[in-house]
Amino acid sequence: MPLEDGASGGKSGVPVGILALIGLVVAALVVGLVLFLTGGDDSGGDDGDEVAATSDVTDDASDDTSDDATSDFSDELTDDSSDDATSDFSDDFSDDFTDDSGDSGDVVTANNLEDGDCVVDETTLTSSTVTPIDCSQPHVFELIGRFDVADGPFPGADQLNSQGQTRCTGQIFEDYVGIPYAQSVTYASALPPSQETWEQANDRTILCFAHTSDQSPTTGSVRNSGT
């Protein structure tokens, strides 16, 4: 059967315009999906950043707190108020400790004390004339021993104090009191030569004195007391 004028030959199909419209719709869906997925990733990334920032702030606060605590603890360990009566005892002696009235020159009068002698107080001990008393009377210091150090140039107060404390709280103390120093309630202090007595009176003797913790007056001897 012949074709009518104006009709196109060949097979019938979908118009081109419809295909183009379908392509635009698909493209729009793909773009929307990509934007949606990308927006989710950005949101997740922001949350991660916030968590990291929070962690940094926490770490900084923890570090600052730790540093402050360590600094305070270190300051407490080095506080000057921890100095005990021993250093005070050694620092208070002066030139009055010697007597230069004799022909032989300066004499360290405290060196004339005997083991077991008691002294009323520090003022008496550091005077140029030291008078011992019986330990049954109120007193502050009791001489428990002595030793001499090597001759030579003055070695310095710190070295003499350290050497004195080591010896006075060691065997000297244990032999006199009857128990080791660490187990005793009795305190001991060393009286070393000063630079003046070392150079002017040839003093090389370190004296060891027993006393209470606060150097308050007491009665009775600590010899063989076991206290």
DSSP 14-72: --HHHHHHHHHHHHHHHHHHHHHHHHHHHHHHHHHHHHHHHHHHHHHHHHHHHHHHHHH
Does residue 3 register a pLDDT over 90? no
The rounded distance, in Å, linking the Cα atoms of 71 and 80 is 16
pTM: 0.59
pLDDT at 126: 84
Which of 18-22, 158-162, 196-200, 201-205 shows the lowest per-residue confidence on average (mean pLDDT)? 18-22
Q: Model confidence over 12-68: pLDDT tens digits?
A: 344 445 555 666 666 677 666 666 666 544 444 444 444 444 444 444 444 444 444
Label residue 77 by pLDDT band (50, 70, 90). very low
Mean pLDDT of 109-136: 93
Q: Model confidence over 140-184: pLDDT tens digits?
A: 999 999 999 999 999 999 999 999 999 999 999 999 999 999 999
pLDDT at 48: 44
pLDDT at 128: 81
8 Å CB contact between 149 and 204: yes
Count of helix runs (H) and strand runs (E) in the chain: 6, 6
Percentage of residues in the chain with pLDDT exceeding 90? 50
Which of 92-101, 145-154, 182-191 shows the lowest per-residue confidence on average (mean pLDDT)? 92-101
Nearest CA-CA partner of 85 in 184, 213, 227, 216 = 213
The rounded distance, in Å, linking the Cα atoms of 210 and 216 is 12
8 Å CB contact between 104 and 74: no
Domain residue ranges in the chain: 16-82, 85-211
